[in-house]
Structure formats: C-alpha cells, structure tokens
Chains A and B, each alone.
Chain A
Amino acid sequence: MVQSRMRGKAQLYVYAGIVVLFVLPLILPRFYIYLTSIILLTGLLATSLNLVLGYGGIFQFHHAVFYGVGAYATALMLTKSGLSPWLSFIVGPLVSGFLSFIMGLICIRLSKLYFGMLQISLGSLVWIIVYRWYSFTGGDDGIHGVPLPDIISSPNSAYYFTLIVTAACLFVTYKMIRSPFGSALQGIRDNPVRSEMIGINVKRHQLLALIIAGFFAGVAGSLFIVVDNTVFPDMLFWTLSLEVLIMCLLGGWFTFLGPMLGAAIIIMLRTFVSTYTTYWALVLGVLMMFVIFFLPNGVLGYIEEKIKKDFIEPVIKE
C-alpha cells in the first residue's frame, strides 16, 4: 500500500520532469540546451551501466567502450556507407550489443573483480585499435562534422531527439528491471549460489544483461553524434568508464534514476567549476569523499530513504 502510494507520487514527479524538459528550449539559451542534451545522453549511459552494476552486481569497469564503439559505428555508417542515415542509429547500438556479447562471453567466466580487470584489458584493446587505425577511424583525430539528416541537425531538434530517445530507452530499461528477468537479475546480484539452486542459469542471465547494457550504451553513443557531430578515441578511454561508474555511485546505484542524477551533478560540476579552476576534479574528489561517508547509498538513495521514512511513520502511527 505504502509502496504503491509512494510509486504513484514518484511517477507524478517523473511526468512533471518530462514536461519541464520539453519546454526547456523555449526558456533556456542554446548553450544550456546543449548541456542538457549531454546530461541526458550521459545519464542514459550511466543508467545502462547501472543495469548490470546496481541491479546485476556485475563489476563492469569498462563500460565506455560500448558507448564509444556505438558512436564510432554510427559515425562511420553516416560518413562512409551512403545508406539511410536512420539505419546508422540502429546499427550503432547493435554493434555495441554484439561487442558486449563477445566480451561478455570471455569475461563472464570470471566473477567480481576479476571480471572487471579482464574487461578493462579487453576494452583497452578496443581503444588502442580505434586510436591507431588512422585509415578507418581517423586515429586520434576522430571524425568531425558527421552529416546528419536535416530534421535533427538543429540544436533544438537534436535536443528533442535526444530527449525522446533517452526517455524511451529509460522506459524500456525500467520495464526490464521490473520484469521476471529483472527479478532474476537482482536475485543473482544478491546471491548467485542460491539463484542457481532455484533453477536460474546465472551466466546466461548475466550475459543477456550485459548485451542489453551494451546496446543502450551504444544508443547513448549515437545520441552523442546527434548532439555533437563528432567522435574521438577518448570516448572509449577507461577514464570515462571510471567517470560513469562514479555517476552511478554518486547518484545511487540501487535507485533507478540515481545514475541520471549523478550524471547531471558531474557534468554540471565539470562545466561550471572548470570555468573557475582547472582542478575541478579536486572538487569532485572531495564531494565523492563526503558522499561515501555520509550518503553511502548515493544522493537519490538518501532522498528515497528519507521519503520512505516520512511515508511509513504516519502509517505506523495510524
């Protein structure tokens, strides 16, 4: 009862948030629209990581690879193939999903930290290929001025495209988390041995989760092309993976919208603090320390706990 009432209220806030996001281009100057687009797609990236990290308990340490590969696949299709541009927005994520499947097959034999270590090395391998293969990927120059279909080439339309795709992807992810597959995945996170003993094929479920996460990271990558028109090798460097991981922890990795909030906080910090000092990462570091000490469940995790208390206490008194 209490939970459904809380969920109803949360839903209301989400709808209100979407409405606000829709009218934002009417109010805000162009720069902020660009910034919001970046926050949205990075939030999608973080949410896709959280599907395997927070809900699946898999230590996916090099998630940016799938983001970068999705972006590169989309950009290469757009610049070199001559096929319908819309097709590239589907192919990009599919390539990411496929890469995730291959890497997953290899890494899934290990668990926890060992999984993460192997993934970092395999991911770095992909990064070095992209970085060095000048003739195909443009090497460290990346690819600039990717041609887009007219309908999404203006900043505002790119924003709306990003908003709609992100919202749709989050909706689908949310559905998945609440499906039997999601329940099984959370069971595996909590207790893999017991999961096997109630008849769940743990590795196979984890592999599917990895593929889905890779796919959505690829979607975020293609959205970056829409917003920024460029790709560069840094998009799949491991420091970005770390940053995305921090977004999940900062926002709250056991909450659904936590990673989105984490993405917003980090990107805004980077944008606004870095105008005052080049040591913006120092501010992030101190902030992170406070979060770990005082909000171990992340910002949204803390808020959720608070709200739960406010909801449950009156009920108990009744």
Chain B
Amino acid sequence: MLEVKSLSKSFDGFKAVNNANLDVQKGEIVAVIGPNGAGKTTLFNLITGILKPDSGTVHFKGENITGFPPYEICRKRISRSFQIVNIFPRLTVFENVQVSILSREKRTWNLFTPSTKLAIDETNRILESVGLVQKKDRMTALLSHGDSKVLEIAMALGGNPEFLILDEPTAGMAPEETFRCIELVKRLSEELGLTILFCEHDMEIVFGIADRIMVMVRGATIVQGSCDEVRCNEAVQNAYLGGSDVCLM
C-alpha cells in the first residue's frame, strides 16, 4: 500500500534521513524503531508532506505522492498523529474533531451554515470510540497529556483514513493510559481495517502489536522484517545492545 524507496533528507549537511526504505501492505501494523535521533519523525514528516525529500520516492496505492503538500496527502486518506501534542488549543475537544471531519468533507468553504449543525453524529461517534465523549465540551488546552494524545488520534480519524501514521502514540503516558491507547490502536486495526504505521520506544508495545518492524539507525533502514527476524538480527543487536548476541526482547 505504501512504498518508500531510498528516501533522503538532510538539514545543513546533516543527513537526518539517508536512504530509508519501507513497505507497508494493506491491513498491516508496521512499527518503525530506532534510537533517538534515528530519523523516525523526519521520515514521517517526509511521507506526510510536511517536509520535502531531497531524493527518493513515496508511492501510495501505486501513485507517486512524493513532495505533495500535506493537505493533498491527507485527501489521499493518509492521516497522522504527532509525537508532540499538536492540536487546536483554543477550540473544544468536540470542535477539534469536527474541523477535521468538515475539512475531509470539503465543507470548510461553507460560509453561512452554522458549524453547530454539521457532522455532529460522526464527531460524537469518533469521540465515543476513543473514550473522550464526556470531555467533549472542554477546551483542549485544559486536557491531560494522555487525553491530548488520544485526541490526536481522534483528529486523525476524522479524516476517515485508510492509512494511519502514529508518531509515538504513547509517549509521556501513564501506564494505564498507555494500556488504553494500545487497546485503541489494536481495535482500530481490527474493526476499521486500518493500515497502521507507528513508531515507538517501548519494545513491549512494539513486539506486542506490530506485524512487521522496520529498524532505522542514523537515518538509514537497516532491516525490515517480521518480529522474529528483527529480534535476533545482528545489525539490530549492534545498534541497540552494542554488539552482544543477546536477542532483543
């Protein structure tokens, strides 16, 4: 479904992403792992159009989407959530998700119908499925960190995606919040049949829900394969454990 080929991006000579390769099949959950600064977020920014790659290509469902602006990539039904909470702080929880839906329905050029009458059911449904429905009238600036991260996912769902990119969905969450969030991701994959690409530092989560794993080190893809293939891969052991022959996890 998504195919990334030898993608590269450098900032002032620093190669943040250097020859990254990735392929994701429909319905899969794929994890990207790698040490801090390996270029995982930059890779996601390149795929979603926030950054333009220096070289390499991104294909989605056979179409070359390299260098498209973010709003067009979103219209191809690729949604993402951000590592650092990235929401609309002066809008309510409800409005955050609603805007996302209205934008997908291309209704944001509508100047005169009150928003309060539009996309109500769908917004409520999404909020219910992620468990934020009780907090829907709250200003998002007042949400807890865990709830904000879940709202991130809810906003991404507002775009009715086929392909969901989650950048460290559980970063900074308390253990029980983490558990809930992972349950949510699993359910989205099972119930909606979403294809999910995510990155995460918690190996327990990664090996728990990913079908396949891609490992990045210093901007480059060193391996992509099933959990078992990655676990005992020599290059991975080198990167994570400094060359011991103990398997990861």
Contact = CB atoms under 8 A, between A and B. Distances in A.
Contacts of B70: 193, 196-197
Interface in A38-64: none
Interface string B136-156: 010000000000000000011
**Interface band, chain A:** 20 to 34
B115 A178 contact: yes
A175 B114 contact: yes
B112 A175 contact: yes
A201 B115 CA distance: 18
Main secondary structure of the interface of A (DSSP, over half): helix
Contacts of A186: 88, 90-91
Contact of B74 (A175, A184, A197): A197
A179 to B, nearest CB: 5
Interface string A155-180: 00000000000000000000110111
Interface residues of B, number: 41
Interface stretch (B19-27, B30-38, B96-104): B96-104
Contacts of B71: 196-197, 199-202
Contacts of B137: 3
Contacts of A187: 88, 91, 96, 99
A196 B156 CA distance: 12
Given A197-B48, A254-B90, A179 B115 contact: yes
Contacts of B112: 175-176, 179
Contact of A205 (B95, B108, B114): B108
B78 to A, nearest CB: 9
Contact of A180 (B48, B75, B80, B118): B118
Contact of B108 (A178, A183, A191, A194): A183
A186 B96 CA distance: 10
A194 B87 contact: yes
B53 interface: no
B39 interface: no
A180 B88 contact: no
B102 A180 contact: yes
B107 interface: yes
B134 interface: no
A304 to B, nearest CB: 13
A270 interface: no
A184 B90 CA distance: 12
Closest 10 CB pairs of A and B: A199-B74, A184-B108, A196-B70, A190-B88, A198-B100, A180-B102, A199-B103, A180-B107, A180-B110, A187-B99
18 contacts: A176-B112, A178-B115, A178-B116, A180-B108, A180-B110, A181-B108, A181-B109, A184-B103, A193-B86, A195-B99, A195-B103, A196-B74, A197-B86, A198-B74, A198-B103, A198-B158, A199-B103, A200-B71
Interface of B: 48-50, 69-71, 74-75, 79-80, 82, 86-91, 95-96, 98-100, 102-104, 107-116, 118, 137, 155-156, 158-159
Given A176-B111, A190-B88, 12 more contacts: A175-B111, A178-B115, A179-B115, A180-B99, A180-B108, A180-B113, A183-B98, A184-B108, A187-B96, A187-B99, A190-B90, A197-B74
